[in-house]
Amino acid sequence: MRREGLSGNRRIRIGLVTSNKNKVDEILSIISGSPLEIYWLNIEKLEIQSSSLEEISLYAARHAFEIARKPLVVDDSGLFVEALNGFPGPYSSYVYKTLGIKGILKLLENEGNRRACFRTSAALILPPLEKVFTGETCGTITYSPRGSGGFGFDPIFVPDGENRTYAEMSVEEKNIISHRGKAFKALTDYVEGLLL
């Protein structure tokens, strides 16, 4: 059966709109071996203010598509800390640049509840399709940073079922359990389905 006009294709090229080289590395590793070919699309990611990662990523993807007119994906992620009522969440990028890891640890200084979740929304535009894929991984915030791998808040996040922070894992190990790994695995499965 022919579906969505893509069956018969072997590979699909999709541009990734991001200024974060670490994300590119992670995503390339997640999709390796799949029919997806992701390349870095050098367009500025427009960031709207919203409490929803889905909305932010979809808006940015639509904006980028207006410029590039090519299939593309935008990843928007955030760290949601329970004791801070979900902060920094969608503001993670700004908070990382301003308060940083030290600032988050300071906010949690006398806090026993260390629960937090990372979330990713990956908005795919593959005309005529538009679809947002999400991934979530929960865990705990450490009392001090550990590890030198990864990026952002990786050194202070220990995913459930692990003793190591994301920053103490290889990219491949992080991808198996990470929020981004889950979102892009769902995206890859979806695109593979379209090719059947």
Active-site amino acid positions: 76
Question: Rounded to an integer, what distance in angstroms lies between the CA atom of residue 85 and that of residue 193?
Answer: 37
Strand segments, DSSP code E, in the chain are 12-17, 36-40, 72-81, 88-89, 115-126, 129-141, 157-159
By CB under 6 A, tell whether 154 contacts ligand IMP: yes
Q: How far is CA 57 from the centre of its chain?
A: 10
Binding test (CB under 6 A) with ligand IMP, winner from 41, 65, 77, 169: 77
| Nearest residue to ligand IMP on Cβ basis | 152
For residue 174, which amino acid is it?
A: K
Of 92, 142, 165, 175, which lies in the binding site for ligand IMP, with binding defined by CB under 6 A?
A: 92
| Contact status: 168 vs ligand IMP (CB under 6 A) | no
Nearer to ligand IMP, 96 or 184 (CB): 96
Amino acid 188 reads T
Residue 9 beta carbon to ligand IMP: minimum distance, rounded to whole angstroms: 29
Q: Does 65 bind ligand IMP (CB under 6 A)?
A: no
Q: Does 155 bind ligand IMP (CB under 6 A)?
A: no
- C-beta separation of 196 from 155 below 8 A: no
Q: Which stretch binds ligand IMP (CB under 6 A): 32-40, 105-113, 128-136, 145-153?
A: 145-153
Element housing 174 (H / E): helix 171-177
DSSP state letter for 49: -
Task: Write the burial class of residue 74 (CB in 10 Å: 0-12 exposed, 13-18 middle, 19+ buried).
Answer: buried
Stretch that binds ligand IMP, among 60-68, 69-77, 106-114, 127-135 (CB under 6 A): 69-77
**Smallest gap from residue 37 Cβ to ligand IMP (A):** 22
Does 165 bind ligand IMP (CB under 6 A)? Our answer is no
Structure tokens at 187: 């995206």
The answer to whether the beta carbons of residues 148 and 166 sit under 8 Å apart is no
Per CB under 6 A, residues contacting ligand IMP are 20, 75-79, 92-93, 96, 118, 150-154, 166, 180
